[in-house]
Chain A
Amino acid sequence: MRVLAPGTTGPVATLRAMLLLLPCAALALALPEVPHWAVVAGVVVSSAVWARTPDHAAGVVSLVLVAGWWASRGVVDWRVLVVAVLLLVAHVCATLASYGPPTMAVDRRLARLWFSRALLALVPVPVAWLAVRGLDPELAPSWLWLATGAVVVVLLLATARVTRTDQA
């Protein structure tokens, strides 16, 4: 059985390889702690299916398994930030690969556009990370939530302006 269809371009093959590797890498960040074998098997299999068919619902399974396992640990450390980045990059890779058949070359301008969008989507991550790490919901004043929301919106707008391209 052929892994890649005839005529698959190099960038598309790279994107698909990343669909397989990134969720596995997000799980491997927990080493030396090893997840349950069922979780590992589920992530590998669903990621493989996702890499073969970027439009497949297996992508959701792969991402949910990784996010769920990290949530089950209950530790909000720096690695959670990396996991969020890896899962987002995997999602963007799948989106880029699903614009057309594997024989279609990846448009560089489209890739640049999605790179800037990924940066924009990452803006709320450090804010949320800081919020869940540094704040006690019971002690925090009520205006803090409003201020946090406003800061996120401002950061989103600023990032959108900085990363804006001609097509955006």
Chain B
Amino acid sequence: MTTWRPTPALVRACLLALGGVCAGVVLGQEVLVVVAAPFVVLAVMGLAGRPRQSVRVTARIDHHRLHEGQGTTSRLDVDDLTGVEHVTRTAAATAHVVTDPAYGATGALIGDGLPTIGFSPRRWGRRAIGAERVALTSAWAGWQWGPFDLPEHGLTVLPQTAPYDSRAEVPQPDGLVGRHRSRRLGSGTDFEGIRAFATGDRLKRINWPVSLRTGELHVITTRAEQDAGVWLVVDGLRDIGASGGIDGAASSLDLTVRAAAALAEHHVRVGDRVGLLVVAADGSRVRLGSGPRHLHRLQGTLARIRTDARSVAPERLDLGAGAGSVVHVLSPMLFTPLVTATASLQRSGASVVVIDTLGEAMTGDRGRLELPSLAARMQRIERDDRLRHLAAAGTPVVPWRGPGTLDTVLHQLARRAQVPRVRA
């Protein structure tokens, strides 16, 4: 139980005041009386300002769910401030979280309001912030309550949605409604062509100028509009490179998670159904869904990804995805089983695009002949070879570059999807 205890400053003032005055009187040392005189005032005022009440202090943060780079504020609640003059707060340092003020130490007189501490997470994931030490000081720095520890608060940091937009259509939309142009003719608004009137055509679709010119009834045909099922497969098996948060260099997992968040937001925004499969030791799977709440669920799942050295790559990717689904595999592709599983997915009929998220993680500036550098280069060569084989098997591989990364690839896939297939 914390109580009000005299501060070292009060103890020092009392010792000097008592010692100086007593020694001056008893020993006849006038100098001691003169030197001790100011400390008498400090000691008396400090002793007189002793608070008596018990204090209950709690802290709360304004937000429990943030995106990278956003900020929240930790506020202090003190139930009884009688006799309290100054409050000191010192927040514990947390990885990938910056504080305002820097180093997390702040203090203020009660008259200026209780001091606050700002926290800004710089990397996605689960963060524990707000663990801090608090001390209350009475007037004339006489008595102190604490310092005592306050517990931390859990904070879910969602990945920053890197700016991403795409004008490419999803190759094989398979839903009922949506913004993508269907391969099938239907009652949409996207012009397909003009043909002769046939039994069953709606009268409102008759194109009168063409009909009058040709002397026969003609109707306008349009394409139906459908949504698409988009699966995001996120490789959380390893994290290559050091993460500097949003202000510094990105590790491979940073690139993967941020790219997945950007793709998820883009597809949900255009009305597609988006599913997520996390390949990791404690992998998770989110079914196809759409809407803002589903997007929050996807981002929350991405924020919980953790790498584990024991995790192994799966032999196959079980998405339950139909032939019309589009699968984005976001991975640095460092594991052969994952490459094999991706190729199997492609063979099953899904439109698979591999998004390479290795980035600059394996291009260290160490000496070229040093052992770690050699090992990294060998690993990279092997990986590039796997990706070449994957591309040769018909699976496009594109490095993540942000906006427009997938445009060319999706256009090609859409054209390929329109070509009639002949199965042996």
Contact = CB atoms under 8 A, between A and B. Distances in A.
A100 B141 CA distance: 12
Nearest to A85: B38
B16 A100 contact: no
Interface in B114-153: 135, 137, 140-141
Contact of B12 (A59, A75, A118, A166): A59
Nearest to A79: B31
A156 interface: yes
A88 B104 CA distance: 30
Contacts of B103: 7, 101, 103-104
Contacts of B141: 95, 98-99
A96 to B, nearest CB: 9
Contacts of B32: 67-68, 71
B41 interface: yes
B140 A88 contact: no
Interface string A30-43: 00000000000000
Interface in A73-119: 73-76, 80-81, 83-84, 87-88, 91, 94-95, 98-101, 103-105, 107, 109-110, 113, 117-118
Contacts of B140: 117
Contacts of A59: 8, 12
A91 B88 CA distance: 20
A98 B24 CA distance: 29
A120 B86 CA distance: 20
> Could you tell me the dominant secondary structure of chain B's interface residues?
helix
A91 B39 CA distance: 9
A68 B31 CA distance: 9
Contact of A71 (B15, B31, B101): B31
A124 B37 contact: yes
A122 B60 CA distance: 43
Q: How large is the interface on A (under 10, 10 to 19, 20 to 34, 35 or more residues)?
A: 35 or more
B394 interface: no
Given A99-B88, A99-B107, A103-B103, A132 B38 contact: no
B13 interface: yes
Interface string B82-106: 0001101010000000000111111
Contacts of B27: 71
Contacts of A95: 7, 9, 141
Nearest to A135: B30
B276 interface: no
Given A101-B90, A110-B86, A121-B38, A80 B9 contact: no
Given A64-B19, A107-B107, A122 B38 contact: yes
Given A7-B102, A74-B29, 14 more contacts: A64-B19, A71-B23, A71-B27, A71-B35, A80-B34, A80-B35, A84-B38, A94-B8, A98-B141, A100-B107, A101-B90, A107-B109, A124-B38, A132-B33
25 contacts: A60-B12, A60-B16, A64-B16, A64-B19, A70-B31, A71-B27, A80-B35, A84-B35, A84-B38, A94-B12, A98-B8, A99-B86, A99-B141, A101-B105, A107-B108, A109-B111, A113-B109, A117-B45, A120-B41, A124-B40, A124-B41, A125-B38, A133-B30, A167-B85, A167-B110
Interface of A: 7, 54-57, 59-60, 63-64, 67-68, 70-71, 73-76, 80-81, 83-84, 87-88, 91, 94-95, 98-101, 103-105, 107, 109-110, 113, 117-118, 120-125, 127-129, 132-133, 156, 166-167
Interface of B: 7-9, 11-13, 15-16, 19-20, 23-24, 27, 29-42, 45, 85-86, 88, 90, 101-112, 135, 137, 140-141
